[in-house]
Structure 1
Amino acid sequence: MRVETFRQKPAQPITRDYIYEFSSVASLYEYNPWSETSDRERAEWLDREARPQADRDELVRTLLAYNEQIGNGAAAASHIEALRDRNTLVVTGGQQAGLFTGPLLVMFKAITVINEARQASERLGRKVIPLFWIAGEDHDLDEVNHTFVLNETLAAQKIKLGAGPDKKSSVSQWSVPPEAWEDALSQLEQVLMNTEFKPELMERIRAITSASDTLTEQFARTMAWLFGEFGLVLIDSDDPQLRKLEADMFQSIVRRQGELDDTLLRAKGRLEDRGYKAQVELQPGQAHLFVYHEGERLLLGRQGERFTDRKGAASFTEQELLELAEHTPERLSNNVMTRPLMQDYLFPVLSVVLGPSEIAYWGLLREAFGLFGLKMPILVPRYEFTLLEGTIQKQMNKFGLQFEDVVLRLDEKQEQWLAAQGSIQVEELFAEAKTKFAELYAPVVASVAGINPGLGKLGETNRQKIVEQIEFLEAKAAEGFRAQHESALRHWERIRMSVLPGGKPQERVYNVFQYVVKYGGGWLRELAGTPLDRDGSHHIVYF
């Protein structure tokens, strides 16, 4: 396995500027990720005892209990214990709990967290641990109940958990029926290639699902198996014990909700004044908190003096919401805007690993951090990878394709190849024949129509039949051409579906086990141990 770098700018304008022209967006973020002094500046700020923070000893106990529950290893426990030392810092990143871990980008985010923690520890000369924040409080099951694997017919086959909760509850609070697990496992087993690695892989995945009550637990156990040796600490944002540690911060958010709302709306205005588009929908009156009410996770907003959901199913005064935060904080839940604040309150976050869209919406949050006596941490772009298998490399070489050709101009290159095989010339010949026939036959139809209008109609019918026969031969010629080059065209399609399935980056579609079943898990561990720069580059992994 070797890794090469490919410079590809993000689609989001603000993220593109963050990576390549940071000075143009510096006022929206707290630290310059490319500055050699940012790590030490952030560490010095975190060393201040006066900053708002959760009880460290209780945090350690909560992390130890959760990681033991999901079967995480000794390396993670050691990292958690290290948090008792006030000198220890954290690099974090997170994702929703997807079926069988979801798309590859989840793996790559975890790898970035592990690498960034290791490198930051070396730069600072102090302990920095990797932590993965599982967004188990999210309730959009349709985003996480499936994954994709490339099948033998060159289609991205969807593997789906065919069940769901009766109410709009969080993923962490939905108990998956055993038959739903078994059905999803059967789908996965059928689509994965039969290799020497498959029996052991399926045995491991089955053991994980049989021990997992929820999708979040399945995700956490799988991540612990894949990255436990690197000491990756895991936490579920919907863990009731974690919620108890969040009580004070929830109360602060409730008390200052109006200020937070105003702060975010001002940030949105500043963003739009610079020509950027806010990645999060913000409207006046949002509370930026959810509440669990009668089994459902409901988004709260302000209506006059009360906090209520859109349908009015739940309603609270500010005092009632404060009492909820103090006595039953597990009934509250963060939204996309308050989750970063809560994360910074819970952990001594040196840096947070984010994807392109996340970097974009964090551009709204600098002033919000300050409102609660916090500071936005360093934002590190997650590693982006494309995995190029040996067969794909050979096919690319056969057609003279570079990686840049595949991701930027594959259709153009395929058309050029087809033209070189003679298909375009044949198309041009048929087009020319139809044009010349129309020119020659038009006067004939006009002439016979002058003799008898009925003959003119017959002539037009005759013309259409002749054109149909020409087009019939043209279609047969195209079929013959494709049959002649069927094998090569399948190679083109395999390249496309391997690298850009459905026009999307591979890492946003395919599941990691598609590659583990072929190559084992060594490449994943090797990537986790490979030092890479935090420069926002895309990396090509050659198997």
Structure 2
Amino acid sequence: MDIDCLPFYRTGYFSEFICDYLAQEPQVRSFYNRFPHLENFEGQIAEKATSFPETNREVLYEALQKQYKGFAVTSETQTHLKKLKEPITFTVVTGHQLNLFTGPLYFLYKIVSTINLTKELKKAYPKYNFVPVYWMATEDHDFEEINYFNFRGKKLKWNRTASGAVGHLDTKGLDEIFEAFSNQIGNSTNAIALKELFKKAYLEHTNLADATRYLANELFGKEGLVIVDGDNRDLKRLLVPYAEKDIFDQLAHQKVSETIAEFEALDQKYTIQVNPREINYFYLKDGLRERIVEQNGTYFINDTEIRFTKEELQNELKAHPERFSPNVIARPLYQEIILPNLCYIGGGGEIAYWLELKTMFEAMKVPFPVLLLRNSALVVTEKQTEKLAKMNLSVKDLFLKQSSFINKKIREISNIDIDFNPQKKQLEEQFKTMYELAELTDASFLGAVKAQEVKQKKGLDNLEKRLLQAQKRKLKDHVLRMTEIQNELFPNKSLQERNVNFSELYLELGEDLVPMLLETLKPLQQEFTVVRM
């Protein structure tokens, strides 16, 4: 196994905002609390320790005991659950939707990053305990985002109607996905293991939340991963005072809007990830998850006949906190209220919207966590590595846009020189004399000289392009093989981790997949990892 790393900005797949964050550029400094350097966690531990109530630990522990009831809990996870009651224990969290069969490969990278960071923290701060947590986004209601996974370029989709929180969905119809998947993967030892994993997760559990808990527990239980479902009455009771400030005082809307204004004034190249609403909570009940909207002192549940006066909604919140579901703005706050958390690990888009929230956290008097970009990786199988070696292709070149990649390699392997830059420089030298001559005779001729220079350079560009196209035709078999391997590793011209399901790698690596990722992914290294098998 060979491991390479390259800076995120060199990949071309990460936003300028995230690259500036990783570079700790001064213009983004005000949007985060502490940068994810190992030494900065000392201050984060101290801040969280003095602000996290011990009663919240008891509530968390009891809620998790109920959530794990009926599941086989590893000794490692059981130990972590017990340690959460201790004041010297802190968490590192990642969150993800309930994507079918984990969805894209980066689901694994998120959790591996989280587990590995807790190990690094334990070495650096041995007197404390650190627990890796996966937060299941059970209350999301965008079924179209999670009802499929890609396998060998095909979409295996769960066709059904759905509404409300996806965690509540029953697993009917997933037997059809199981059959389609089983028919495609064969009967190797690793294929049989995958079939068993899918079957036990989705055909032996009655709802999507339980199925996902089983799946994540099977993959990472030996590492002591703790899985949290925020869709819980007791946990949401801790959220009530903060939800009141959002719903009735519109504090979150005010603070996040101010931060967005700072973003926009700072640099137009930065894209706003999420915009706050006046109320950042949904009403959750009986297959319903709809926004709460206020008009003239009356609170409506969007697209329904349900309405409340202010007093009625206050009473509803206190009596039934489980019916109030935080949106993308409020959910991070909820997480930090119920967990003794130090760090959130997420993808580029997630980190970008977390960076909008710092002033809201300050106004709510909740410590803002360290934000860490999850590990990203490209895994190149042994066969793919052999192909690259035969064609003398660098993995780093594969990150180029396909047209640039092909042109670069054609120039390298061509038996003629298809680079007219020397001729262009020679042309520029010749035109210097002509400019001098025009200035000595009649300056009005300068424009004509410039036009002629542009024309001749354009002619050289066109000739270079035609020669390059001719070489591509001559070397078409090589071009075809190059594009095939790039498309394999970057499906849909995007990162492997955003398209490929873990099952494709599991078929090759089997039970060695997760240990391999745990060994190779270094969360604080903050570089893109290339693993050649």
TM-score bracket, shorter-length normalisation: 0.7 to 0.9
Residue in 2 aligned with 1:322? Answer: 314
Q: CA deviation at 1:531?
A: 6.1
Q: How does 1:489-500 map to 2 (within 5 A)?
A: 491-500=481-490
Residue in 2 aligned with 1:138? Answer: 140
Helix, strand or coil for the counterpart of 2:400? helix
Q: Of 8, 11, 16, which residue of structure 1 is paired with 2:14?
A: 11
More deviation, 529-538/316-325:
529-538
Residue in 2 aligned with 1:160? Answer: 157
Preserved contact between residue 53 and residue 346 of structure 1 (Cα < 8 Å): no
More deviation, 217-226/526-535:
526-535
Q: Of 259, 272, 278, which residue of structure 1 is paired with 2:272?
A: 278
Q: CA deviation at 1:162?
A: 1.7
Preserved contact between residue 22 and residue 32 of structure 1 (Cα < 8 Å): no
Cα deviation digits, residues 82-127 of structure 1 (max 9, x gap): 0111110000010001100110011000000001111112212210
Q: In the alignment, does 2:495 pair up with 1:505?
A: yes
Preserved contact between residue 233 and residue 320 of structure 2 (Cα < 8 Å): no
Helix, strand or coil for the counterpart of 2:299? strand
Residue in 2 aligned with 1:23? Answer: 26
Cα deviation digits, residues 456-494 of structure 1 (max 9, x gap): xxxxxxxxxxxxxxxxxxxxxx9xx89x966x5664344
Q: Of 226, 243, 251, which residue of structure 2 is paired with 1:250?
A: 243
Q: CA deviation at 1:56?
A: 1.3
Residue in 2 aligned with 1:340? Answer: 332
Q: In the alignment, does 2:22 pair up with 1:40?
A: no
Helix, strand or coil for the counterpart of 2:345? strand
Residue in 2 aligned with 1:520? Answer: 510
Q: Of 381, 388, 403, which residue of structure 1 is paired with 2:380?
A: 388
Preserved contact between residue 293 and residue 314 of structure 1 (Cα < 8 Å): no
Residue in 2 aligned with 1:78? Answer: 79
Residue in 1 aligned with 2:190? Answer: 197
Cα deviation digits, residues 274-294 of structure 1 (max 9, x gap): 1123111345xx200000245
1: CA distance, partners of 2:302 / 2:523: 45
**TM-score, normalization by structure 2:** 0.83
Q: CA deviation at 1:68?
A: 3.8
Residue in 1 aligned with 2:100? Answer: 99
2: CA distance, partners of 1:417 / 1:277: 34
Preserved contact between residue 92 and residue 113 of structure 1 (Cα < 8 Å): yes
Q: CA deviation at 1:207?
A: 1.8
2: CA distance, partners of 1:325 / 1:231: 34
Q: CA separation of 1:88/1:372 partners in 2, compared to 1, >3 Å: closer, same or farther?
A: same
Q: CA separation of 1:189/1:318 partners in 2, compared to 1, >3 Å: closer, same or farther?
A: same
Helix, strand or coil for the counterpart of 1:47? helix
2: CA distance, partners of 1:62 / 1:263: 31
Q: CA deviation at 1:13?
A: 2.3
Q: CA separation of 1:293/1:232 partners in 2, compared to 1, >3 Å: closer, same or farther?
A: closer
1: CA distance, partners of 2:516 / 2:46: 33
4+ aligned runs moved over 4 Å, structure 1? 50-54, 415-422
Q: AA paired with 1:528?
A: L
Q: CA separation of 1:530/1:302 partners in 2, compared to 1, >3 Å: closer, same or farther?
A: same
Q: Which runs of 5+ in 1 are unaligned?
A: 151-155, 425-477
The number of residues matched between the two structures is 473
Preserved contact between residue 287 and residue 307 of structure 1 (Cα < 8 Å): no
2: CA distance, partners of 1:247 / 1:230: 33
Preserved contact between residue 59 and residue 235 of structure 2 (Cα < 8 Å): no
Q: CA separation of 1:240/1:190 partners in 2, compared to 1, >3 Å: closer, same or farther?
A: farther
2: CA distance, partners of 1:522 / 1:421: 37
The percentage of counterpart residues that share the same residue type is: 22
Helix, strand or coil for the counterpart of 1:197? helix
Q: CA deviation at 1:382?
A: 0.3
**Which has the higher Rg, Structure 1 or Structure 2?**
1
Q: CA deviation at 1:163?
A: 1.7
2: CA distance, partners of 1:70 / 1:164: 28
Residue in 2 aligned with 1:537? Answer: 527
Residue in 2 aligned with 1:436? Answer: none
Helix, strand or coil for the counterpart of 2:150? strand
Preserved contact between residue 245 and residue 251 of structure 2 (Cα < 8 Å): no
2: CA distance, partners of 1:193 / 1:274: 54
Q: How does 1:103-502 map to 2 (within 5 A)?
A: 103-125=104-126, 126-150=128-152, 156-165=153-162, 168-177=163-172, 180-192=173-185, 194-256=187-249, 258-275=250-267, 276-282=270-276, 286-293=278-285, 295-311=287-303, 313-415=305-407, 491-502=481-492
